[in-house]
A and B are shown apart, each in its own frame.
Chain A
Amino acid sequence: MTALLNVNQMTHYFGGLRAVHNYNLSINPKQITGLIGPNGAGKTTIFNLITGVYTPTEGAITLSGENIKGLETNEIASKGLGRTFQNLALWRHMNVLDHIKMAHYSQLSYGLLGAFFNTPACRRQESEVEENAYRLLELFDIKQYAFDIITSLPYGAQRRVEMARAMATNPKILFLDEPTAGMTPDELIQMIKIIRQVHQDFNVAIFLIEHRMKFVMELCEFIQTLVFGEVIAEGEPEEIQNNPEVIEAYLGKEDLT
C-alpha cells in the first residue's frame, strides 16, 4: 500500500538553530498518527514544514505520491491537507457560517467576473457551498452560532469551528495542533468524540500533536516522540508508553493523564 503522506529525511534550520533533524513520516489513508514531545521540540515546526509555511532545508515530501515540497501553502491545502492551529487562527470580524464557507475557496470556479456580476454560476456555487457549510455546522454542533461573530463564542466552540473549517477544505489528511489545549475535561471528552466521528464520516487520515497522554493513547494507532527536533521513539501506543527513553525524556516530567 502506498502511503498517503510521506516525509523523507526532512531537516530544517532556523538560521543556526536546527529545529528538525532527519525526520521521517509515513501515514496511510485513514490512519491516526500522534506526535508527542516536550515544548519546543519542533512539533509545530514539522506541521509548518509539511503544510508549506516554511520550505524545509532538506528532504522530500509527497502527498498521494505527488511532490508538495516548495508549493505554496494554499496549493498544498487544496491538494487535500487541512489543518488547525495551536493558538486558534480564526478571522476575528467574520461570523461562523462565513468561516466555513470561506474554506471552500479552492472549490469555487465562478471567478472574479462571476463575483462582480453575481452570475447564475456564482449564485449556484455559493448556495451549494452554503448547504455544505450548514451540514458541517450541524455535525460539529455549532449551528446555533452560525451568524455570531467568532470572537463571541466560547473557547471550546471556537475550536470546533476551526475543525469544521479545516474539514470544509475537503482534506484527505487532517493536521491537528494540540486540539485540546486549554480545554475543560468535558470539552476534552467531546473533542475525542468529534475526532472519532470525523475520522469515520470523512474517511480522513489524521496527524495530531497532543500533550495529554490519555488522549493520544486512546486515539492514535501510531505515535512518534520528538525531542530536540529528532524522533527518539516511534511505534504503537503500548510500545511508546513503556519505552524507557520516552519516559525519561518526556513522560517522566509530566503528569501522565
Chain B
Amino acid sequence: MELARKFKEMFSTVPMIGWLLGILVGVLIEFYWGYDYISYYLGLPKIPVLFGALIMLKEPLMIPGAIGYDLIVYVIPVFLVARVTTFATNPLATFLEKLPLIVSVLIHLVFFYFILHLWSGINDYRELVVRLTMVSIILTISINVINGYQGEFSCSHPGFMAIGAYVSSILTLLLFTNDKIFGEALLPAYLGPWFFPIALVLGGFAAAIGSLLVAIPSFKTRGDYLAIISLAFMFIVKSAVENLNAIGGARGMGGQGEFAPLWVIFIWTILAIWIIHNFVTSILGKALNAVRDDEAASESMTVKTRKTKMTAFMFGAFWAGVAGGLFAHVLAYINPGMFGINRLAEILAMVYFGGLNSIIGSIVGAVSINVLGEALRPLELFKWIIIPLILIFVMIFRPYGLISFKEFNVKRMLRAKSKREQGA
C-alpha cells in the first residue's frame, strides 16, 4: 500500500499530454523494433497482439518472454518518458490551457488518434479489436443512459442495435453496392462515405422510434415488468428480421461497403461521448436521475416525467442504433443471431462492470470487457466462467460498478500538474 502510494505520488505531476507522449514512445518502440529485435530476442514468434495474453495462454513457456515484452515495450518506456518529460510537458500543458478549451481538446484528441492509429495499424486483428471496442463504448454509454441514468432495467438494447444495423445497411447496400439482395447500386460509390453518416443517423432515428414500444409501457411500470417487456421487444425484433426474407432473413446480409475505418468510428465515438456528456450534465439530463430517484417529487418540482422517460429511451436507442450501423459496416456482415441474448449479456456485463451513471465508467467497462474477452479467447468455454466471476466480484465490492456516479471534467483532466498544486 505504502509502495502504491509513493508510486502514485511520483507520477502525480504527469499531465495528460505527458502520458500521451509516454504511450507514443512505447508504440514507436514497438513500431520500429517490436518485431525485428524485441520479440526476436525474447523468443516470441511475432509481436504480441493484445499484450501477449493470447501467447501466454496458449504457450505457458512463453510467459516470461511475453511479460518481458510488455515491460520493455510498454510499461518502462511509458512511465519513464511520462515522468522524465514533465519538465517539458507541464509548461506545454500550461500553454494549452491558455487556448480555448475546444482547441486544447482537439489537439489532445488528434494526438491520441495518431497513437491509436499507429498501435492498431501493426496488425489487422488488433485494428478490428480497436474498432469493435469503440463501437462497444458507444453501446455501453447509450445503455447507461437508460439503465443507469434513468434507472430502468431495459434489456432491449440488442434490438435497438439491430434496427440501426439493418436500416443503415439496407440504405448503403441499396445505394452504393451491387449485391444479391438489392441489385445494382443506385448511386456512384464515391458518394458512399459522404452518405454514410446520414445512413447511421437514419438508423439511429429508426431505433429511437422503435424504442417507444418500451418507453410507453415504462410510464406505468418499472422493474421486473419493464425488464420482461423490453426483453420481449428484443426477441420481436430478432424474429421479425429472421422472417423477413427480403433482407436476408436468418442468413443475414453482407457486403456492406468499407465506410467505417478507424478514423470514422473514432469521430463517432467522440461525438457520442461529447453529446451524451453534455446531456447528462445539463439540468434536462439530470432530470433522468430525479425521475429515477423519486418520480412523485420530480413531478411536483415541475419536471415532465413522461417526456423525460421518453427522452431517455429514445436518446439511448438512437445511439444504440448508430453503434449498430457502425458495427454492421465494420464486419460487413450481419445476421439476426448477432442481436440476441448473447449480445445482451455482453452489453449488460460492460455497463454493470464499468459503473452506472458514469460515462467514464462505461468507457472503462467497454474497454476492459472487450480486451478481456479477446485476451481470454484461447480459453474458449472457460472465458464464460472467468468473466462472470469477475463481474460477481465487482458487484459484491462495488454494487454500482467500478466507477459510478462520476462525470469527467475535461478541463481538469487536461490541466498542468505542478508540484505546488499537489499539496492542496
Q: Which residue of chain A has its CB nearest to the CB of B299?
A: A73
Give Cα A14 to B375, complex, Å: 60
Q: A94 in the interface, Cβ–Cβ < 8 Å?
A: yes
Residue from B275, B296, B298, B300 whose CB has the most chain A CB atoms within 10 Å: B300
Q: How far is the CA of A227 from the CA of B286 in the complex (A)?
A: 41
Closest to A47 in B: B300
B187 interface hit (Cβ, 8 Å): no
> Can you list 23 residue pairs at the A/B interface with Cβ under 8 Å?
A52-B299, A53-B299, A74-B304, A83-B300, A85-B300, A89-B294, A89-B296, A91-B289, A92-B293, A92-B294, A93-B292, A94-B289, A94-B290, A102-B290, A103-B302, A105-B284, A106-B302, A114-B282, A115-B278, A115-B279, A115-B282, A117-B278, A168-B301
Proximity string of chain A (33-67) to chain B, C-beta cutoff 8 Å, 1 when within and 0 when not: 00000000000000000011100000000000000
Contact A102 B286 (CB under 8 A): yes
Contacts of B290 in A (CB 8 A): 91, 94, 102
Whether B286 contacts A94 by the Cβ 8 Å rule is: yes
Report the separation of the CA atoms of residues A92 and B357 in the bound assembly, to the nearest whole angstrom. 13
CB distance from B388 to the nearest CB of A (A): 27
Residues of chain B within 8 A of A166, CB atoms compared: 300-301
Interchain pairs with CB closer than 8 A, number = 103
Using CB atoms and an 8 Å cutoff, list the residues of chain B in contact with chain A. Answer: 275, 278-279, 282-287, 289-290, 292-294, 296-305, 311, 357, 405
Which residues of the other chain, A, contact B311 by a CB distance below 8 angstroms?
Answer: 112
B308: nearest chain-A partner, CB-CB? A105
Question: Which chain B residues border A51 with CB–CB below 8 Å?
Answer: 300
Known contacts A78-B302, A117-B278; A89 and B297 CB within 8 A of each other:
yes
Interface size on A, residues (CB 8 A): 39
Whether B302 and A118, one on each chain, are in contact in the complex, defined by CB atoms closer than 8 angstroms, is no
Contacts A74-B302, A94-B286, A102-B303 hold; do A116 and B275 have CB atoms under 8 A apart? yes
**In terms of DSSP, what is the predominant structure of the interface of chain B?**
helix
Specify which chain B residues have a CB less than 8 angstroms from the CB of A89 in the assembled complex.
294, 296-297, 300
Question: Are A91's CB and B287's CB within 8 A?
Answer: no
- Tell me whether A91 and B294 are in contact (CB under 8 A): yes
- Report how far A106 CA is from B303 CA in the complex, Å: 7
Assess whether A90 is interfacial by the CB under 8 Å rule: yes
A165 at the B interface (CB under 8 A): yes
Interchain CB contact under 8 A, A129 and B283? yes
Interface: A11 (CB within 8 A):
no
Determine the residue in chain A with the shortest Cβ distance to B304: A74
A148 beta carbon closer than 8 Å to chain B: no
Task: List residues of chain A with CB within 8 A of the CB of B305.
Answer: 74
Name the residue on A nearest B291 (C-beta).
A91
Report if A117-B275 is in contact (Cβ < 8 Å); known contacts: A89-B297, A90-B297, A104-B283.
yes
Q: List residues of chain A with CB within 8 A of the CB of B297.
A: 85, 89-91
- Starting from the known contacts A90-B297, A105-B287, 12 additional A-B residue pairs (CB-CB under 8 Å) come to A52-B299, A72-B299, A73-B296, A73-B300, A74-B298, A85-B300, A89-B296, A92-B293, A98-B286, A112-B284, A112-B311, A166-B300
Interface string of A157-182 (1 = CB under 8 A from B): 00000000110110000000000000
Distance between Cα atoms of A94 and B297 in the complex (Å)? 13
B residues in contact with A103, CB < 8 Å = 301-302
Chain B residue contacts of A165, Cβ below 8 A: 301
